[in-house]
Structure 1
Amino acid sequence: MLHPYEELEAQLPSVLVEELHALTMHVGHLCQLPSSVLAAFTIQHQAKVFPPSWHLLHLHLDINWLILEVLHVLGEKMMRQVVYANHFINLTGENLTSVSLFEKHCGNLISDLISLSINKYTKVRPSEALTSHHYPCTCIKELWILLIQLLDHRSKGSHTECFWSLVNKTLKNIFERPSSSEGMSGFEAIQCKDPLSFSWWIVSHLASLYQFDRNGNLDEKKQKESNWQFVEELLKKSTDAQTGVLEEHLRMHLQCCLTLCSFWDLNLSIVTILWDYYSKNLNSGFTVPWLGLKDLANVSKTSLSMLELVKCCCSEQQIPSLYKSHNSYFIFLCILARMIKEENSGMHPWKQIKGRIYSKFHRKRMQELTEVGLQNFFSLFLMLAIVVETEDIVSRVLDLLDFLAPSSITVSQRALIWRGHFAFLLIYVEKNMDVSALAEKISSAFREKAKEFLVNKNDYTQRHNLWTLLSTYVDGVQEVFETSCYLSLSEEKLLNDGFTMLLPACRGAELSMVLNFLQVVLARLRSVHERVSQGLQLGNTAPDAQLPLVAKEHHLAVASALWRNFFPYLKSQRMSQMPPSPQLADTAAGFTLLALDIPSKALSDLQPQPVLSMMQLFGWDDMVWPQLVSRYLSHLIQNSSLCEAFSSMGYTSYEALTVRSWFRCILQMFIDQPSGVLAKTDAERTVGKAYMEQLTEMTRLIFKLSEVENILSKAHVEESVFKQDPKYALVQFIKAVGRTYSGLQTLPEKSAMVAKTLEYLGDVLKYVKPYLKAKGPPEGLQLTYWIIGCLVKFWAPILATSKAQQLLFRIVDCLLLPHSVLQQDKELPVALLSAIQESLPLYLQGLSFICCQSQTQGAYLNQLLGSIIRHYFGRFLPSSPTVPGTGQHPLLTALCSSITAPQMLRLRKTTLHVISENYMQFKGNAPPPRLASVLAFILEVLQRTQSTELCDIELVLPSVLKCMVLVNELQVKKISTDIVQNVVEGCQAGSGGEHATQLTSVFRQFIQDYTAVYDHRVFSILETVAVLDQMLVTNLIPTITQSLKDLEYKQGLGRNAAQREAYKRLLSYLAEAGQNEIQKLENETDE
């Protein structure tokens, strides 16, 4: 007989099943809990005190899991025998076993968890599907992991359903929407608006939980059970035309599928299903309207962007914002790339699906492709070319493209095809494969289009269409050159003679683009050639020891193509009618440096010294636009290799010729401005500002040349000079040269310096000829006269030499005494006259110095100086001394400047001689014109210099005294009196008796000439002088007395009482000598 406990123990399994069943009935479904309890899921774990609802909710979770755990342990203890709930069966007649209870409760729990996920999914956007978790809290996540571990463990030991099987069954019920509540009593109330998308979402998230082991730790190496069969069914529904899944959902479905590919093993059926769909929809843009502009860029603008896009789908790294940045077709390519790259039992997947992909493209299908379809076509085959057999793929693509009828291809489609070609070229380059065959095909097409572009250069519509293609080609070639590591893959094939037809037909922005491209190619070739020549490699060492040799051969070929197909156009644009674009100078500099690096491939007409020929063409030619020269030389002045090259040639004029070009660039800075006085447009101001900045940079570099630095150092010029305005910097350099020359001691040094200086200048008058010919613009004339005036003044010792005098004579003839100036009755242009007025003092001061120095041409130079003064004194002399706004006379400025004594004396003497001979000569008793202005000028000279020279007494005083006698105009009398006062007082202040003797001589002659007729005026003048210098007039008493007596004798009327009375009045000013002379005269009267 059994012990009661043993009987109870035997009934325990059955009773336990019944109790557990009762418990499940009591707690019910999770999803049926009140919303206030379910809301506890949102409480964060950081909370310090949890509410009762949170505890109740988690109690339900624990009970649900523990029921399964107890039933599983029961099964293990019972050696997997089925336990029947006998009492329950007897009472109800329903079958209840441990297995059925486990399966039912497990199904209910998974349904409950999925229902919770559906509630979560209603708030998930398609774009956030992969980042939004399916569990409302981590406890649910842990429960899912426990279910995965438990169910898959049970399925391995017996024939029970695995985790995925139960999930699939539950998800299928969502699609089927069962009417009966059998087994799903708690689920029928769950509404899912998009069960297909939800299924993708939940499956992809549940698959990620397979990464956790039974302890909940992350184990990425853990084997993951796949669920491909169910996913295939999902994929068929997603791509079913009748289902009509929108792109916004399809992206999310494929994104989930891509995620599953990273978790599970290879499955080519997925690719087959997707390819069947996308091969029929290649012309679709796969856009999502609500994403706006972000989603419209279906067609890549460049070959590089096309390739980079495809590379993204081949990358193992996860792409951020994949949903918004790429369409579903791109995600399909990601899936395809991932599948193809995986090996499966030694069988390459590509060989299995190759036929399926190729079979979809035939002539009719190719001709049906739109521009978007072609883009998708290229994206597919570019991805395949990256991942598998590149040459085979490219060959097939070219064959397929031949199916397209040329007449039916639009311009945009052809441009896309060209971009596709270049994308394949870039793949070749990255894989270090020779591009010869592919390059020849695309370059041949380019040649034809370039020819059409040249022929139709006046047809705007045709030009626009052709330029779309040609610019695509230019961009593509540039990308190839920038991508290639060694330029050893026959890249030169892309630089064919099509460019010789393209360049002459380009205008504005078109030419700018081609020249920028050319600069990139030149710089790339030089950089790679230098690296290869030095034996340097990028990254790993070259796989082929012959690489440098092979690369150099290709570099020669590239250089040859550049010289042959680009340089002739560049050369032809040196002297264009309009100022060339800055890119022309940049490109010419690039060719110059290429000639330095690879001289052998320069054109024959540049040989044997191509670098020197290039400098002569673009840097030193006086006929080339200064804008081009300044920018060109700025690239090269400080290039040490170039300097070394000229040194090795023995070419010593390199720096001097560069300085000469700098001179010209500054002098011609206004050469392209109109001669009129109209206001400049904004565009002209911009150009002018850009050129000034260029000149400033050029000046900075010029001042770093060794010759220039040496001159500045000897002249003690500060380094900050080059930071000034280029015009002022040039003047500082001119001064420095003059000071340096003056400091030389030996004749050979001076002779060499003169030769070097003339080399710096060149034909300076040729540079300014355009200004003189056009009589403008005013800025150009001002600059011309000022700079060359500085030359004449500060280089006067140099210009005084026999080597430089011819230049001086030409300067005078062209600038100061041209034919128009010699015609006194002809008015000069205001701008020209203004320029001369401002700069004339410089010329006069320089010429006066040269007159003092010259040994051979002294007389001619004096004559020249006098001629200049004669022509310009009158032109700048105001009609009256009081005329406002006339400014200071340039001759006055010259005479009153701080110059050496001999120089000043020469200028003063010549000026006064010219004035006396030409502007103070009376016609009979009629005074010369503008006499008051002439006298005012003389007075100002005397007042400003505060000295009296012999020439003043000899040349000026006689004429001034004559004016005092013959002219009654008060202004003339006043100024004349002031002049006499200045001269007399100046002679008193001066040392030595020479001035007094000369002064006495002049007054003696004055008395003899005018006393006979103008005795009273003469006596009146002498009275004024007596007040200033009594001794002077005292010494003149014998002359005055004798003149008086001679006059009386001639008159034959005896003594003239009136004259004698006037004379006595004068004598009364002369103290004792005067009284004595009065006494003598009275004694004569008494007799």
Structure 2
Amino acid sequence: MINETNVTDLDFEENFVFSGNSRFQSSSSTSATRLEANSQRYLDCLGECEVDLSKLPKRRSALNEAFEPHVLDVDATIQKTRLFGRDWDAGSIMQSRMDVLFKMARKDMMSLESQLVTNALTSKSCGKSSPNSAFVMRKNCVDLYSFLDEYFSSVAAVPKYSWCLGTLLRPLCEQIEKFQKQLGRLTSLPESVFLHASNARGNKCEQPSYHLFHMHLDIRWMHLNVQLKVYKAWDSQQVLCDSQVIESSAITKADISGKANSLMFELIDLAFLRFEKLFGSGCCKKSPFSCSCIQDLWVYLHRFYSSLFNEYEGTAFWSSFCGYIGKINGFHSEDFSIGNPQIYQEASSSNKVVFSLWLLCNVTILHKSVGLAVSSNHAILENLLKLLVSDETNEGDIKTCLVFIESLCVQLWEPKVEPIVCLWEYFHKKINSSFYLPGSSIDSIATLSKTSSGLLKHVRTLMETKRSCATTSFQHFIRIVGLHLLRTKNTPRHWNVIKGRVFSKMSGPRIGSLSQTGEHHVVVLFVMLAITVGVGQVDNKFVEIITTIKRAKESLSSDLIQGLMAFIVLSLDEKQNVSKLVGVVVDHVNAISPLDGFDVLKRFTEEVQEIFIMDDSPGLGLHLLLDSWMSSYLTCCAPVESSRLLESVLVIVNRLKVRSCLSCPDQDTILFVERLWEQLNPYFNGMSAHMPVQSAEVAASLVVLFMNTGNHERASAIMNLFIVKDCSDVWLSRRFITKLILNDNVVSLLPRYNKIIIKAWIRCCIICTDTFSMEMKSFTSYVSNIEEISTICNDGDFSLVDSKEPLLYLCTSFRSKFESTENIYQKQNLRERLTSYLDGIDRWLKSNMVSQDHEIVHNVFKASGNMIRLCSHLLYTKSKPNTVLQQIIDTLLLSASVRNPEYKLPVAVAQSMKEFLHLFIEGLHSLYSNQDSYIMRMIKELVSVYIPRCVTLPSPLPVASSTRFNLVAELASFSCSLRCLIFETVSNQFFKKKAKMPHVHARHALTFLKDSLSLNDWNADVVRCFIRGCFERLCDTMMFCDDKSAALAHSKNVVKTLLNSDVLRENSDLIDSLSYCLAALCNEHLAWSSRQTFDLIISLSNDAPDLVVRFLPQLLDTIKHIETKRGVGYDKNLRFGLERVETNLRSIKADHHRPV
């Protein structure tokens, strides 16, 4: 800095006015004083700048007035101006006091610098300085330059005063240069000044660093402005003075341009100092303009160059700017004597490129936002790109640079293809790289979506949303190329150049060596090209690439398959034929083994599903998607996955079905349907219990389509498959038929299948549990209208549809019809019809008897039991083998496994047998009127097999609630003969005569007998049949069974319960039956087993002495009869036994009358 020691010696009076030599004084009568005219001619900072220039503040500051004329009225009365706190004569001050003014300015500048040194970052100065004295000193200096600006504008406006320029020009230039040297460069300021240079409080801020920095900006700009005004003032006037003086004092354009360049380059240096403090990609979020005033200066510089060179395209500005940027990066040889290139020497090449692009982009955005001319500086951009890609630039710098390149090439400048080509030259060499940025999240690594729709969405998102969606530099490159192609869609040259460069790099050896990441990048690139320029422009090349990779690697990755599927989707959107694309992917998928490559097959299937749902046309080669992979996938996949595929197929089939009903099907529809049936036929032929119901819906829709296309043979084949063939899943048949009957044009084909449909309906009634579902009601309604059913079931106001249990109503109707007719031929016809409906029932029942669904098992036994109970005469013919009744019994009740005593019934079967065994037995017994030994044997076997399995033994521990055994509970409703048959069968099977060891299931039989009495409320008819069928055998057990057997105690308990019942004493005929049984027992055993017989009678007398007393005469007659047969008049043993009985009765009587 220059020390102005003599400035402090100046002593001026307050309000001093110099007017001695004023040449602007024209009259002394009036005067005008210019006071504080420049109070608003200073930069007023708004703080740090935003990157988003849409928030650019709308304001007027001092520098906005730089190019507006400020003319003083030089012909007016003496004018005064206020500078440095004093009043001066505006007319003469420049001639007489110029050096004093500049000395005072230099003094204030040094004082401001001294405040910065002594007070560091505070805003208080030393001594007796007033508040915010820093601003006062800055204001003094700026006001001086503002006065100079106005002074020269005023002089130039009046030709008669132009002679002043010749005398003032040289001393003024010397003073300005002297002040400029003392001011120094912006970059020479201390770092603390830059730290506090921006402040949102603006000029209200009291920090010296703020005002020192902004004084530099004010003065530098005013200096340029004053020089420009002097130059233009002199250039526009014809002055009459010595030409030598003029020449020696003239300011040239080159001088002014040099000063402007110096300011611009220093602003660039300031931006670099700011860039060095930002971390990596942080410059994307920060502006290179540290404060709003620097931002304004960049705008004013552009206008300044335009004013200086009388051009408004910004050529001079951008030429100087790009020249210095080129010098910084080392590809301009010219030597700049101004600026400070030394600060860039330690920076790396990539950092300088990033900085250059950052500044270039932001300055361009700034000028465009304020309406200034923006030059497309592609030359400097291309040089920077070449430098960027030639060096080993890291991924972070590349990604940061692409942000600025996008703004310049896509948003700000006219499109040019060369930068895109330059970038491609870099990225194709690193196509196999992951472009992973160290330190970033693992999610930033590019991965392909699982579906083609996801891939298309991803690529479209790259081009349609903010650039933040591009997580890698390659994705950002894809975004730039896509946006460029969209922008230049009407200019084929751009696409032709890019196509030539891209396609030429996709050679055979290069493609064959692609890694999985490289394949991903190629797919994304070509999908982007297809979206922007159309599939037709790139599909051939993409297919060629896929073929080359498959030939080199003998397989295709999932990424490539997704790319092909994305191309198919785009082609369908553009209504282009996809045969070529489909052929490549289907050939590959068909060759995949379902076991080894199921994941690939599944992913491809999901793609096809999306296409079927999305596209509503079967043309454009879409039918080629249906190939052998479909049947392979449906065969090996899980039911849930097959249902998804069939659901998608159903969408397009239903769409075609509706269209075929409205108009004649076209050739594409016929071709698609035939192709679909070719692939589904093997799957439908191998029907299993796990097929989804969607298969039936697809088949039904195909029938309708084939009917509409006139292919009745194909429609019949499908109906045979789902109706005639006994598929294992009845729900499929039901769904198939219910879907068919909704179509009028198919109903005409159904009558030939009436018997099969009735058979399927009966099967549904037996197996399906959702009897009241809408689907089942619809099925029942259709069946009820079939003539051969309606003639039997529809009786007046009540029909099959109105019944709560349609199958039960059908059986009842058949039985009524059978019993009401006397015609043997009609009876035979009814029997044959019902038998035909139930043909193959053993297969239906067998497959569902082992179902895990207990409701199905329950329904099967209930329906079968009711059919046997109601229609046994129609289902069985004596001596005829393999009748329907025999099939049902052998399948459900008397299979080979059930006859094995160790076989344990499944839980569902055991519960169903408890509930419905009585229905089967009741129906079988109705056939016994013919004395059919087969039926009799069947009933006895059912009783002997299922009583041990259905009776629950009593336990001292509480047991969970179990199903009631209805064979016991329903005995009272049976006929007498059936009850007797059941009791006799129990007795004969589980209680052998004179057996010391009871039957292994004797306890189950005894529990059954006891429950038969108690659960039927001691019904007299049940008790009578019990006595007739069981009492004698129970007494036999009491006589001969081992004393330690539990069955003996249980038998005694059952007999005791019977003897003590009230119903026995209320009905004399029951007592007579009991006496008859005892007499028969005595006749059989008294002669040879007298001890056991008398022990039995004594035991009975203990429980029921009154009954034994009534029996004594018969006992005596039996004894006498035996004695007669033996030929003796008195048998001591028998008489002694009788005496024991009588003695026991007397003791019981005595105990009864003994007082308590």
TM-score by length of 2: 0.66
2:1009 and 2:427 mapped to 1: Cα distance?
102
Match of 1:67 in 2: 223
In the alignment, is residue 411 of structure 1 matched against residue 554 of structure 2?
Answer: yes
2:871 and 2:812 mapped to 1: Cα distance?
16
1:756 and 1:798 mapped to 2: Cα distance?
16
Equivalent positions of 1:700-739 (< 5 A) are 702=773, 704-706=775-777, 736=805
Match of 1:103 in 2: 257
Match of 2:435 in 1: 287
Q: Do the aligned partners of residues 634 and 295 (structure 1) sit closer, same or farther apart at CA in structure 2, a change above 3 Å counting?
A: farther
> Displacement, 1:868?
1.8
> Displacement, 1:909?
1.9
Match of 2:1024 in 1: 950
Match of 2:418 in 1: 270
Q: Do the aligned partners of residues 61 and 621 (structure 1) sit closer, same or farther apart at CA in structure 2, a change above 3 Å counting?
A: farther
Match of 2:722 in 1: 615
Q: Secondary structure at the match of 2:478?
A: helix
Which of 925, 945, 950 aligns to 1:872? It is 945
Q: Secondary structure at the match of 2:296?
A: helix
- Residue correspondences, number: 943
Q: Secondary structure at the match of 1:526?
A: helix
**Contact conserved, 1:656 with 1:759, CA < 8 A, in 2?**
no
**Contact conserved, 1:429 with 1:489, CA < 8 A, in 2?**
yes
In the alignment, is residue 143 of structure 1 matched against residue 297 of structure 2?
Answer: yes
1:38 and 1:20 mapped to 2: Cα distance?
25
Q: Secondary structure at the match of 1:163?
A: helix
> Displacement, 1:202?
0.8
Equivalent positions of 1:456-535 (< 5 A) are 484=615, 486-492=617-623, 494-495=624-625, 499-500=627-628, 519=646, 522-523=649-650, 525-526=652-653, 529=656
Equivalent positions of 1:527-926 (< 5 A) are 529=656, 552-564=666-678, 566-574=679-687, 586=694, 589-597=697-705, 599-600=707-708, 606-607=714-715, 609=716, 612-613=719-720, 615-616=722-723, 621-624=725-728, 626=729, 642=742, 649=749, 702=773, 704-706=775-777, 736=805, 747=816, 763-769=840-846, 788-791=860-863, 793=865, 797-800=869-872, 802-803=874-875, 806-818=883-895, 827-832=900-905, 840-842=913-915, 844-850=917-923, 863-864=936-937, 866-868=939-941, 871-872=944-945, 893-894=965-966, 896-897=968-969, 899=970, 901-903=972-974, 908-920=979-991, 922=993
Which of 190, 202, 205 aligns to 2:359? It is 202
**Contact conserved, 1:734 with 1:794, CA < 8 A, in 2?**
no
1:1060 and 1:478 mapped to 2: Cα distance?
95
Match of 1:997 in 2: 1072
2:528 and 2:1001 mapped to 1: Cα distance?
97
Match of 2:45 in 1: none
1:203 and 1:653 mapped to 2: Cα distance?
87
Question: Which stretches in structure 2 are left out of the alignment for 5+ residues?
Answer: 1-19, 25-90, 96-154, 156-163, 783-801, 821-828, 878-882
The amino acid of 1:195's aligned partner reads K
1:906 and 1:48 mapped to 2: Cα distance?
120
> Displacement, 1:39?
0.6
Equivalent positions of 1:132-531 (< 5 A) are 132-157=286-311, 162-176=316-330, 183-184=337-338, 188-189=342-343, 192-193=347-348, 194-213=351-370, 223-239=373-389, 241=390, 243-246=391-394, 248-266=396-414, 268=416, 270-271=418-419, 274=422, 277=425, 281=429, 285=433, 287=435, 290=438, 297=446, 315=463, 318-322=466-470, 324=472, 326=474, 330=478, 333-334=481-482, 337=485, 340-341=488-489, 343=491, 348-350=492-494, 353=497, 357=501, 360=504, 370=514, 391=536, 409-411=552-554, 425-435=568-578, 438=580, 443=583, 453=591, 484=615, 486-492=617-623, 494-495=624-625, 499-500=627-628, 519=646, 522-523=649-650, 525-526=652-653, 529=656
Which of 177, 180, 183 aligns to 1:27? It is 183
The amino acid of 1:71's aligned partner reads Q
> Displacement, 1:207?
0.7
Q: Secondary structure at the match of 1:151?
A: helix
> Displacement, 1:34?
1.7
Tell me the percent identity.
15
**Contact conserved, 1:255 with 1:323, CA < 8 A, in 2?**
no
1:102-145 deviation per Cα after TM superposition (whole angstroms, max 9, x unaligned): 43432232222212211222244564554432112233222222
Q: Do the aligned partners of residues 369 and 640 (structure 1) sit closer, same or farther apart at CA in structure 2, a change above 3 Å counting?
A: same
1:1052 and 1:517 mapped to 2: Cα distance?
96
The amino acid of 1:790's aligned partner reads K
Identify which range, 140-149 or 467-476, moves more after superposition.
467-476
> Displacement, 1:876?
6.5
> Displacement, 1:203?
0.7
Q: Do the aligned partners of residues 604 and 1039 (structure 1) sit closer, same or farther apart at CA in structure 2, a change above 3 Å counting?
A: closer
1:157 and 1:932 mapped to 2: Cα distance?
123
1:545-579 deviation per Cα after TM superposition (whole angstroms, max 9, x unaligned): xxx98x94423322233223x1343245436xxx7
**Contact conserved, 1:418 with 1:472, CA < 8 A, in 2?**
no
Question: Which stretches in structure 1 are left out of the alignment for 5+ residues?
Answer: 214-218, 536-547, 667-697, 712-732, 1076-1087
Q: Secondary structure at the match of 1:922?
A: coil
> Displacement, 1:148?
2.3
The amino acid of 2:714's aligned partner reads L
CA RMSD of aligned residues (A): 6.0
Identify which range, 633-642 or 48-57, moves more after superposition.
633-642
Match of 2:193 in 1: 37
Greater Rg, structure 1 or structure 2?
A: 2
2:635 and 2:428 mapped to 1: Cα distance?
44
2:508 and 2:964 mapped to 1: Cα distance?
94
**Contact conserved, 2:928 with 2:936, CA < 8 A, in 1?**
no
The amino acid of 1:429's aligned partner reads L
> Displacement, 1:431?
2.9
2:681 and 2:651 mapped to 1: Cα distance?
21
1:640 and 1:524 mapped to 2: Cα distance?
17
**Contact conserved, 1:792 with 1:843, CA < 8 A, in 2?**
no
The amino acid of 1:956's aligned partner reads C
Q: Do the aligned partners of residues 799 and 132 (structure 1) sit closer, same or farther apart at CA in structure 2, a change above 3 Å counting?
A: farther
Q: Do the aligned partners of residues 846 and 163 (structure 1) sit closer, same or farther apart at CA in structure 2, a change above 3 Å counting?
A: same
1:31 and 1:163 mapped to 2: Cα distance?
21
> Displacement, 1:208?
0.5
TM-score by length of 1: 0.69
The amino acid of 1:238's aligned partner reads L
**Contact conserved, 1:178 with 1:188, CA < 8 A, in 2?**
no
> Displacement, 1:210?
1.9
1:1060 and 1:389 mapped to 2: Cα distance?
118
1:412 and 1:941 mapped to 2: Cα distance?
75
**Contact conserved, 1:734 with 1:791, CA < 8 A, in 2?**
no
The amino acid of 2:683's aligned partner reads L
> Displacement, 1:38?
0.9
2:202 and 2:873 mapped to 1: Cα distance?
98
